[in-house]
Structure 1
Amino acid sequence: MAAAFAAAFAVSAAARAADPENTLYLELKSGRVEIELRPDLAPNHVARIKKLARAKFYDGIVFHRVIDGFMAQTGDPTGTGTGGSDEPDLKAEFSAEPFDRGVLGMARAQSPDSANSQFFIMFAPGHFLNGQYTVWGKVVSGMEHVDAIKRGEPPANPDTIISMRVAADVH
């Protein structure tokens, strides 16, 4: 039974990864990071990220908070950690998906329903975040480029997102 479940899960994960509508290309100075979107966990957050990526909102935005052994945070057009998009905040979509290395979550203020455009990528497991932040994706390749992001709160010369695109839109 467990083997059948594992096989079914592997097929669904492979099917998700092969879906260009649910794959993001995050271009960093050292190379491309491929992100599998998880609309099965957070449909509204995935829709927001795709909408902002398609509007080129993330292009040129800095990683304003990068903590070694924890995570890299970006998505604030002001670069201060206090800004967001003009879109309304999102209601939390918490799941049982753990915050492991390579997982992407939405940043938020104190209210669970305050996520907007900021997100973070985990350098290492951070299970203390489980059930408190919305998981919306996972790095499937290029994690070495995430690992190369300059550290700091904020970094002295922060790295930027060169571009972030939905794979279906890249020709």
Structure 2
Amino acid sequence: MNLATSIGIVGRQLLAVSLAMTLMACSTQPTSPSGGAEGVKQAQAETPLLSESEPAATAQQPKLKGEATVQITVNGKPITVTINGDAAPITAGNFVDLVDQGVYDGTSFHRVVRQPQPFVVQGGDPQSKDASVPAQQLGTGGFIDPATQQERTIPLEIVPEGEDQPVYSETIKAAGKTPKLKHTKGAVAMARSQSPDSASSQFYFTLSDLPFLDGDYAVFGYVTEGMDIVNQIQQGDRIESAKVTQGIENLTR
């Protein structure tokens, strides 16, 4: 391998890390490990103890058993998303429940990354409904459950390829596993902070195949129609409406 090739590989690796960091839903709470070199080394050195037991705290959270279809309208045009509750029951159930409650209606896409390569379109912060909220604050909010007045968060939930049960609260990449639902172009996944169980309402569309995210973030569905609309979304564009068009009967809450 010559020097130019080596530099090119290192550059792509650094770019992948940089892009992945922009996925994290911002948090006002401290997170660990840090994003510095020591934190990266620590994360790579530790093989997680994979847990297939559903966290007790999620017993009362919405779950999707089977599939659902969601239509998201942006700039007057529909985007159809197929939600996979078989491979991500809690993650999919949380999203479908929030759609059904109208939580996403009027929210904006606060992060759009297309350069230096197509990456993601991210939205779902309920704060973005309020035009008076400063742009720099967007990406810090989640869904506040009216019943508890607390932010609803869900555990990281990933089903490894070739397995039936999700792994909870742990990334699976360090264990040498790949997820059943991958970050191919048009995937829909949950944004989170460095804490694996911090996802709430923020989600993202992938603009290209992003295999370096596989095993670290929870994919729960795919765009099946309207990817051209996703490709046209600009920062600040709003979700005019999000509706469950099929499969609401598969939601338990």
Q: Helix, strand or coil: the match of 2:103? A: coil
Deviation (angstroms), 1:168: 3.2
Aligned to 1:167: 245
- Greater Cα radius of gyration, structure 1 or 2: 2
Task: Output the TM-score relative to the length of structure 1.
Answer: 0.80
1:81 maps to which of 114, 117, 139 = 139
Runs (5+) with no aligned partner, structure 1: 1-19
Q: Does 1:110 align with 2:194?
A: yes
Aligned to 1:49: 95
Confirm or deny: 8 A CA contact 2:186 2:222 kept in the other structure.
yes
Q: Does 1:71 align with 2:129?
A: no
CA distance in 2, matches of 1:124, 1:145: 14
Q: Helix, strand or coil: the match of 2:185? A: coil
Q: Helix, strand or coil: the match of 1:121? A: strand
Confirm or deny: 8 A CA contact 1:77 1:83 kept in the other structure.
yes
Task: Output the TM-score relative to the length of structure 2.
Answer: 0.55
Confirm or deny: 8 A CA contact 1:21 1:167 kept in the other structure.
no
Q: Helix, strand or coil: the match of 2:126? A: coil
Instruction: Calculate percent identity across the aligned residue pairs.
Output: 35
Aligned to 1:90: 154
Number of residue pairs matched by the alignment: 145
Aligned to 1:128: 212
Confirm or deny: 8 A CA contact 1:41 1:135 kept in the other structure.
no
Deviation (angstroms), 1:86: 1.2
Change (3 A) 1:29 1:77: same
Root-mean-square deviation over aligned CA pairs:
1.7
Change (3 A) 1:149 1:111: same
**After TM superposition, which residue ranges in structure 1, 4 or more long, deviate above 4 angstroms?**
none
Confirm or deny: 8 A CA contact 2:187 2:221 kept in the other structure.
yes
Which deviations, in whole Å up to 9, do the C-alpha atoms of 1:111-167 show, x marking residues without a partner? 1111100000000111111000001110001100000101xxxx3xx1000111100
Confirm or deny: 8 A CA contact 1:37 1:136 kept in the other structure.
yes
Aligned to 2:77: 31
Change (3 A) 1:165 1:21: farther
Aligned to 1:141: 225
Deviation (angstroms), 1:41: 1.4
Runs (5+) with no aligned partner, structure 2: 1-65, 129-137, 146-151, 160-178, 249-253
